[in-house]
């Protein structure tokens, strides 16, 4: 469905077009889904496709389990995200081997294919049959019993070809190589992920051109496609509510150092999972005991004023200093409240939920007359009441919403005034001794 922002009532495609503005005093006194997307340079795995991963997913097709160091960033993301839309950046040459009339080829390119072994041995219970087992780095991932090569079926990591009766053998695949990731690989990723719904995207990279491309992509998603989401990168001065710029990393309890670039995976995950009524200020980074770079008070203040998202050490733990995005230049339409991610998550949820509700239940189904508009208004009142009950907004009453006919016979205009709630962050206390 179409979406995005609007300045005039001149849209062509049916859809929901949403503007979110400040009136100069936004009150900072369906929820987010916990879905993030993560492009990773990997040694093996599906190519050119988005794979939905959760904490219980089978990662055999990627050649490593979640505990392997190669999956560090995915593991960090899954500490908080309910779902990671994983995309493998880059590809490579497929490892292969031929034994007699049987050829075995890795399903995907990459060096991990060289760690695949296939063994064929006679089945003691079925004369003429052979047990064919596939291993990745010594771990059994598939077993099948066949009599001929034609009966062999592809599994999660290799495919077979050949003819004739099976024989006993034990072989290792070879020749698998990685192809270096390029800017074009990330551009392909952006084109693939744009049709999915997600809350946040992490780009754990240092390349400035890719950061800029990612920022442009997310802004287009927000402003032209109507999908309110955020990008998390490291060290990027975007001055935009759409971008979270991570300044430093953390040190885990096992000694693993998570750089600022790598920390984007966890930040995107925890931001996606936060919901509309949760601030991440002083949120602890799971399993972290310190930060990679400590700052003095004046440096922290300067970083926050520049819209930098940083971790600080608090009594043997690493915490988020303040849940902000990179917006640091404020206007009458986007005041300082837009730099607070909790407030932005509320506003984004309002936009995303209203868009989805209108598309799913009203476009082409409900008459654009007074009764139809009142029906839509009643739906939105119920939604905003639920936000208020959750502690996401305050002081909402039904009169804060109006639904009127637009300039064209098929258009409606929804106006709503909301007061997002922020969390307590500053305590000013006076102790008087008497």
Q: Are the C-beta atoms of residues 40 and 231 closer than 8 Å to each other?
A: no
Q: According to the model, what pLDDT value does residue 32 have?
A: 45
Pairing of strands 83-89, 102-109: unpaired
Residues of the chain with pLDDT under 50: 1-3, 6-8, 10-17, 20-32
CB-neighbour burial class of residue 273 (10 A; exposed 0-12, middle 13-18, buried 19+)? buried
Q: Which of 106, 91, 101, 92 is nearest to 172 (CA)?
A: 106
Going along the chain from its start, the domains and CATH numbers come out as: 2-30+350-416 (no CATH), 35-89+180-320 (3.30.1370.220), 92-178 (2.60.40.4290)
Q: Please, how many CA atoms are within 13 Å of residue 150, restricted to the half-sphere of its CB?
A: 3
Q: According to the model, what pLDDT value does residue 431 have?
A: 84
Q: According to the model, what pLDDT value does residue 426 have?
A: 74
Q: According to the model, what pLDDT value does residue 16 have?
A: 45
Name the 3-class secondary structure at 189: helix
Q: Are the C-beta atoms of residues 309 and 245 closer than 8 Å to each other?
A: yes
Q: According to the model, what pLDDT value does residue 33 have?
A: 74
Q: Which of 248, 262, 239 is nearest to 324 (CA)?
A: 239
Residue with tokens 């991610």: 341
> What CA–CA distance (Å, rounded) separates 252 from 262?
12
Q: Give the chain's radius of gyration (CA, Å).
A: 26
Name the 3-class secondary structure at 233: strand
The backbone torsions φ and ψ at residue 400, rounded to the nearest 5 degrees and listed phi first, read -75, -5
> What CA–CA distance (Å, rounded) separates 261 from 206?
7
Token pair for 128: 């003429």
Q: Which ranges in 338-393 belong to alpha helices (H)?
A: 341-361, 370-389
The backbone torsions φ and ψ at residue 388, rounded to the nearest 5 degrees and listed phi first, read -65, -40
Q: Are the C-beta atoms of residues 74 and 265 closer than 8 Å to each other?
A: yes
Q: From the CB of residue 257, how many other CB atoms can be counted at a distance below 10 Å?
A: 11
Instruction: Give kind and range of the element (H or E) at residue 297.
Output: helix 297-305
Name the 3-class secondary structure at 272: helix
For residue 105, what are the β-bridge partners? 96, 159
Q: According to the model, what pLDDT value does residue 23 have?
A: 43
Distances 49 to 89, 105, 192 between C-alpha atoms, Å: 10, 20, 7
Predicted structure pTM score: 0.88
Q: According to the model, what pLDDT value does residue 221 have?
A: 95
Q: Are the C-beta atoms of residues 401 and 384 closer than 8 Å to each other?
A: yes
Q: Are the C-beta atoms of residues 211 and 189 closer than 8 Å to each other?
A: no
> What CA–CA distance (Å, rounded) separates 41 from 366?
47
> What CA–CA distance (Å, rounded) separates 346 from 20?
11
Residue with tokens 């930040």: 267
> What CA–CA distance (Å, rounded) separates 148 from 138?
25
CA 299 to chain centre: 30
């Amino acid at each position: 469905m179409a979406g995005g922002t609007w300045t005039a009532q001149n849209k062509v495609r049916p859809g929901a077009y949403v503007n979110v503005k400040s009136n100069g005093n936004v009150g900072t006194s369906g929820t987010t889904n916990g879905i993030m997307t993560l492009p990773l340079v990997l040694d093996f795995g599906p190519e050119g496709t988005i794979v939905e991963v959760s904490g219980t997913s089978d990662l055999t097709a990627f050649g490593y389990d979640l505990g392997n160091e190669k999956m560090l960033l995915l593991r960090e993301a899954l500490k908080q995200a309910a779902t990671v839309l994983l995309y493998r950046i880059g590809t490579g040459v497929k490892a292969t081997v031929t034994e007699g009339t049987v050829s075995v080829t890795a399903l995907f390119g990459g060096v991990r294919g060289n760690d695949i072994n296939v063994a064929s041995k006679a089945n003691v219970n079925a004369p003429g049959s052979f047990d064919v087992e596939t291993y990745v780095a010594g771990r059994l991932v598939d077993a099948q019993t066949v009599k001929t090569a034609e009966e062999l079926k592809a599994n999660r990591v290799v495919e077979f070809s050949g003819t004739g009766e099976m024989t006993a053998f034990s072989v290792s695949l070879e020749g698998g190589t990685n192809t270096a990731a390029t800017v074009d690989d990330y551009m392909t990723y952006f084109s693939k992920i744009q049709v999915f719904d997600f809350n946040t995207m992490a780009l754990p990279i240092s390349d400035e051109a890719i950061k800029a491309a990612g920022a442009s992509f997310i802004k287009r998603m927000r402003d032209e496609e109507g999908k309110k989401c955020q990008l998390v990168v490291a060290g990027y001065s975007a001055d935009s509510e759409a971008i979270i710029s991570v300044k430093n990393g953390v040190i885990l309890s096992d000694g693993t150092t998570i750089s600022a670039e790598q920390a984007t995976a966890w930040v995107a995950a925890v931001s996606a999972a936060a919901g509309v009524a949760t601030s991440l200020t002083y949120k602890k980074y799971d399993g972290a005991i310190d930060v990679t770079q400590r700052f003095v008070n004046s440096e922290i203040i300067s970083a926050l004023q520049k819209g930098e998202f940083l971790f600080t050490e608090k009594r043997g733990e690493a915490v988020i200093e303040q849940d902000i995005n990179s917006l640091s230049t404020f206007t009458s339409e986007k005041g300082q409240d837009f730099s607070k991610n909790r407030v932005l998550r509320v506003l984004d949820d309002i936009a995303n939920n209203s868009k989805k509700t209108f598309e799913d239940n009203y476009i082409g189904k409900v008459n654009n007359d007074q009764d139809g508009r009142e029906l839509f208004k009643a739906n939105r009142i119920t939604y905003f009441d639920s936000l208020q009950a959750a502690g996401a907004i305050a002081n909402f009453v039904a009169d804060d919403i109006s639904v009127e006919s637009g300039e064209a016979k098929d258009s409606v205009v929804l106006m709503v005034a909301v007061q997002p709630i922020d969390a307590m962050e500053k305590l000013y206390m006076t102790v008087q001794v008497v």
